[in-house]
Amino acid sequence: MKKLLYFLRPYKNKLLLMIGLLFIQVMGTLYIPTLTADIVNNGIVTGDLDHVWKTGGFMLLTAVVTAVFSVLGTYTSTYISTGMGCDIRGALFRRAQEFSINDFNRFGAASLITRSTNDVTQIQVAFSIIVEMLLPAPFMTIAGLILAFSKNRLLAFTILGFMIAIIVFVVMMGKKVIPIFDSLQVLLDKINRTVRESIIGVRVIRAFNRTGYEKMRTDKTFQEYAATAIKANKIFAVMIPFVMVLMNVCTLVIIWVGGSQVARGGMEIGDIMAIIEYAMLTLMYLLMGVAVFIFIPRAQICANRITEVLENRPEPAASIVQISEGEADAAVEFRNVTFRYAGAEEVVLQDINFTVEKGKTTAVIGSTGSGKSTIACLLMRFYDIENGNILIDGKDVREYPQEGLRDKIGYVPQKAFLFSGTIADNLRHGKKDATEKEMYHAVKTAQIDDFITNLEKGLESPVSQAGSNFSGGQKQRLSIARALIRKPEIFIFDDSFSALDFKTDARLRKALKQDVSESAVIIVAQRISTILDADQIIVLDEGKIVGKGTHKELLENCPVYQQIARSQMSEEELA
């Protein structure tokens, strides 16, 4: 929680102003019972109507001024808490942008969303509760007690006794409720994850008639959350009425003890009224102050979850990297690369060696799960390798600054992803100042120009969330156009032609040849027809290179390639 105090720094002056406003509000609130006692003792009891009017008017003025300061105080605290919430969310988003893919996997999308939304809201609520309930509590209770002591010591001791009883009771209840709040936050993550999955996977759920099962699964998660929340509320349901009973008993004792003192002439009647009000104020604020300690642990958990993200070390800084012996003049070189995913026992890639020349196309083929996409990810340094070097222009990727490295690469992912906005917005992800001419050129090469020109709004046509209003092939071609517009030094097409029909695939590759003639191109593919004319084909099998050469060479000397080729091509095509 302390670490989040940093976010209050810009609001230092407003914070001081708020404390000042709060102080005046507390003074005003405490002054009113003294005026009540004065009206009763010196106005009503003595029949001095003038005094009643004068003191009553002053009391009204005090109440109005207190109310105005209270409104101003609440406004200032809300201003600070919303501003702070906005700043924390911004910081979380910026930090998440620096995450490595491993970090994303570790935190999980659902948890990152909960942390940026609900957890920040909890911090904002905690801030408001602390300033509005906890800060005035010590002042209000101490000042209230002193004023009560100034009127009657015995009754003041009575109030003190009830104060201790309330503290003991609330602390006991708090011990029960805090662990429940702990689990509520974890369950919220679970709700987020389940709902997210059932929305994203809605087509699969319907296609497989799993709506009933999904409903049961989400219902179970909701019920778990509700049951836990009810458990916490049950404790509050007992706690609040019991404290009210304690407060009422306190009033009763004051009236009883004070009444007998008035009867004996040891006390004035107005003072009883003042003491009752002091008692209510002190006990109420004390209750609120203690209750805050129940909410603070929940905020503490949220604060820890937020700082965990904020303090997560960004991708490893460039380190001195030992480059093993060898020439380094290729655009891309994998040199003795071995890699395993975090926490995995088996290596995914083992001793991988190949180069990609500028102006040449290198294809990577292999059975599913053989490590093809992993090669693409490693080149962009989504993960760090265990052994070896990945060199771009002779320099290890770990020595490049993140942006500098990724500026060199135009990546088309296996799963085409579009952002909500317009087609042009999506193309501008590739190049932020792309002109209309550049955009049309890119979509033409990507073979999607006809489709776009037929749309009423052309490049300005809307794209729904994740590109859900486009077909798989259209999304793939738009992703290709987005990479092309960048004109990078290296292209990575990760199985990017799989959703295209053979004719479009062939046309696209022909058009591509001219656009990418200056770059080093890596094509990850499943279909042999896509890579027939590649300058070099790398054949992967269970994370190892088992063949390297042209289509013709591999057909002659690589059994794994022959097997793949036979499964996809006719004997005539192979001959």
Ligand X SMILES: Nc1ncnc2c1ncn2[C@@H]1O[C@H](COP(=O)(O)OP(=O)(O)OP(=O)(O)O)[C@@H](O)[C@H]1O
Footprint of ligand X (CB under 6 A): 105, 341, 344, 348, 366, 368-374, 414, 526
Closest approach, Cβ 378 to ligand X, in A, equals 9
Residue whose CB is less far from ligand X, 12 or 106: 106
Query: How far is residue 26's CA from residue 24's CA, in Å, rounded to a whole number?
Result: 5
Residue whose CB is less far from ligand X, 74 or 387: 387
Residue whose CB is less far from ligand X, 275 or 352: 352
Pull the structure tokens for residue 448: 């999607």
- 371 Ramachandran zone, left/alpha/beta (phi>0; psi -120 to 50): left
Query: How far is residue 561's CA from residue 569's CA, in Å, rounded to a whole number?
Result: 12
Considering only CA atoms, give the Rg of the chain: 36
Closest approach, Cβ 370 to ligand X, in A, equals 4
Q: How many residues does the chain have?
A: 575
Please name the helix (run of DSSP H) or strand (run of DSSP E) that holds residue 491, with its range, or none.
Answer: strand 490-494
CA distances from 497 to 412, 466, 476, 507, 567 (A): 10, 19, 7, 11, 19
Closest approach, Cβ 102 to ligand X, in A, equals 8
Closest approach, Cβ 521 to ligand X, in A, equals 17
Closest approach, Cβ 386 to ligand X, in A, equals 14
Residue whose CB is less far from ligand X, 135 or 337: 337
Closest approach, Cβ 105 to ligand X, in A, equals 6
Query: How far is residue 435's CA from residue 339's CA, in Å, rounded to a whole number?
Result: 40
Per-residue DSSP letter, 360: -
DSSP for 525-572, written as a single string: ES-HHHHTT-SEEEEEETTEEEEEE-HHHHHHH-HHHHHHHHHHS-HH
Residue whose CB is less far from ligand X, 85 or 371: 371
Pull the structure tokens for residue 62: 């005090």
Closest approach, Cβ 450 to ligand X, in A, equals 29
Residue 372 corresponds to which amino acid? Answer: K
Closest approach, Cβ 472 to ligand X, in A, equals 15
Tell which residue, 136, 152, 163, has the closest CA to residue 27: 136
Residue whose CB is less far from ligand X, 265 or 343: 343
Residue whose CB is less far from ligand X, 348 or 363: 348
Residue whose CB is less far from ligand X, 33 or 366: 366
Residue whose CB is less far from ligand X, 78 or 353: 353
Per-residue DSSP letter, 380: T
Residue 396 corresponds to which amino acid? Answer: D
Query: How far is residue 297's CA from residue 181's CA, in Å, rounded to a whole number?
Result: 8
Residue 288, number of CB atoms within 10 A of its CB: 16
Closest approach, Cβ 363 to ligand X, in A, equals 13
